Structure 1
Amino acid sequence: MIAPFEQSPALAAIPTIRHGFFGRRGGISTGVYTGLNVSDSGGDDPEAAAANRAIVSASLGLGEPVILRQVHSNRVVTLDAPPTGPRVEADALVTNRPGIALGILTADCTPILFADSAAGIVGGAHAGWRGAVDGIVGNTIAAMVALGADPARIVAAIGPTISAPNYEVGPQFLADFLALHPNGGKHFFVPEGRREHFDLPGFIREQLATAGITRIEQVGACTYGAPERYFSHRYATHQGTTTGRQIAVIGLP
Structure 2
Amino acid sequence: MIVTTESLSRLPGIGHGFLTRRGGVSDGIYDSLNCGLGTEDAKARVMENRARAVKAAGLRAEPLNTAYQVHGKNVLVVETPLDQENRPQADGLVTRTPGINLGILTADCGPLLFADAEARVVGACHAGWKGAVGGIIEATVEAMEGLGARRADIVAVLGPCIGQESYEVGTEFPTPFIDQDPANARFFAANACRKFQFDLPGYIAARLAHLGLAEVNVTGHDTCALEDDFFSYRRKTKRGEPDYGRQVSVIGLT
Please classify the TM superposition score into its range, dividing by the shorter chain length.
Answer: over 0.9
Q: C-alpha distance in 1, partners of 2:193/2:59?
A: 49
Quick check: 1:6–1:220 contact (8 Å CA) kept in 2? no
TM-superposition CA deviations, 1:38-73 (whole Å, max 9, x none): 112121111111111121122233221101000000
Which residue of 21, 26, 29 maps to 1:24? 21
CA distance in 2, matches of 1:5, 1:234: 22
Contact 2:223–2:231 (CA under 8 A) maintained in structure 1: yes
Corresponding residue SS for 2:108: coil
Deviations 1:144-193 (A, max 9, x none): 11111111111001100001111111111112322233331111111233
- For residues 5 and 191 of structure 2, what CA distance do their matches in structure 1 show? 31
Q: Name whichever of 178-187 and 153-162 sits farther off.
A: 178-187
- Structure 1 CA distance, aligned partners of 2:248 and 2:202? 21
Aligned to 1:212: 212
Judge conservation of contact 2:233–2:244 (CA < 8 Å) in 1: yes
The ranges of structure 1 where at least 4 consecutive aligned residues each deviate by more than 6 angstroms after the TM superposition are none
Aligned to 1:240: 240
The aligned residue for residue 12 of structure 1 is 9
Equivalent-residue separation in structure 1 for 2:176 and 2:98 (angstroms)? 41
Superposition pairs of residues 134-213 of structure 1, within 5 angstroms: 134-213=134-213
Q: Does 92-101 or 191-200 show the bigger shift?
A: 191-200
Q: Within 5 A, what are the aligned runs for 1:23-172?
A: 23-59=20-56, 60-62=58-60, 63-84=62-83, 86-172=86-172
After TM superposition, the score normalised by the length of structure 2 is: 0.95
Contact 1:72–1:131 under 8 Å retained in 2: yes
Deviations 1:113-166 (A, max 9, x none): 000000000000000000000000000011111111111111001100001111
CA distance in 2 between counterparts of 1:61 and 1:35 reads 21
Please state how far the C-alpha of 1:220 moved relative to its aligned partner: 5.0
Instruction: Structure 1: give runs of 5+ residues left out of the alignment.
Output: none
Answer whether contact 1:119 1:148 (CA < 8 A) is retained. Answer: yes
What is the number of residues matched between the two proteins? 250
Deviates more, 1:111-120 or 1:42-51: 42-51
Measure how far apart 1:79 and its partner are. 1.4
- The question of whether the paired residues in 1 share the 8 Å contact of 2:59 and 2:101 is answered with no
Note if contact 1:96-1:147 (Cα within 8 Å) is conserved in structure 2.
yes
Identity %, equivalent residues:
41
- What's the TM-score, normalizing by structure 1? 0.95
Q: CA RMSD in A?
A: 1.3
Task: Provide, for residues 187-236 of structure 1, a one-character-per-residue CA deviation record: whole Å limited to 9, x for no partner.
Answer: 11112334112111111111111111241111251000101100011011
Whole-Å Cα distance in 2 between the matches of residues 220 and 21 of structure 1?
Answer: 12
C-alpha distance in 2 between matches for 1:140 and 1:61: 21
Counterpart Cα distance in 1 of 2:76 and 2:169:
30
What is the rounded CA distance, in whole Å, between the counterparts of 1:118 and 1:91 in structure 2?
A: 24
Distance in 1 (CA, whole Å) between partners of 2:159 and 2:70 is 19
What 5-or-longer segments of structure 2 have no aligned partner? none
Q: Does the Cα contact within 8 Å between 2:20 and 2:230 map onto a contact in 1?
A: yes
